[in-house]
Amino acid sequence: MGLAPIADEFEREVTASPQQFERELRKAWPAGVETLAPGRFRVREGRTWLDIEIESRGMRRLGLLELPVVVVRYRFAGGDPATRRALLVALDRAMQRGGG
């Protein structure tokens, strides 16, 4: 069974502040993260690039715990599906944070 293709554009909610997200993104992609504007970044892998835009959504409350939330918009350009998937998987793996 094949893997579903990755959409050219999609978004996710992430529990992090904008500063935490940027710090983790830079650690996850040591080859270099370009800053396009405040809250907008680009990572490249060969002829594939991924633009990332983050927007704060305030705090999420879970009982007594409050967590900052950002919406992250991803937009791919160039590259084939396999390269895009590999880039996203590498970023996701590197940005995972432990819990509970």
In the three-class reduction of DSSP (H, G, I as helix; E, B as strand; rest coil), residue 90 is classed as helix
Provide the residue type at 81 as one letter: P
- Report the percent of the chain where pLDDT is more than 70: 94
Tell whether the model's pLDDT for residue 93 goes beyond 50: yes
29 or 40: whose pLDDT is higher?
40
- CB-CB contact of 95 with 37 (8 Å): no
Look at residue 71 in the predicted model and tell me its pLDDT. Answer: 96
Mean pLDDT of the chain: 89
Buried b (16+ CB within 10 A) or exposed e, 18-38: eeebbebbeebbeeebeeeee
81 or 99: whose pLDDT is higher?
81
pLDDT in tens, 30-57: 888 999 999 999 999 889 999 999 999 9
Whole-angstrom CA distances from 50 to 39, 42, 61, 81 are 14, 6, 31, 13
99 or 24: whose pLDDT is higher?
24
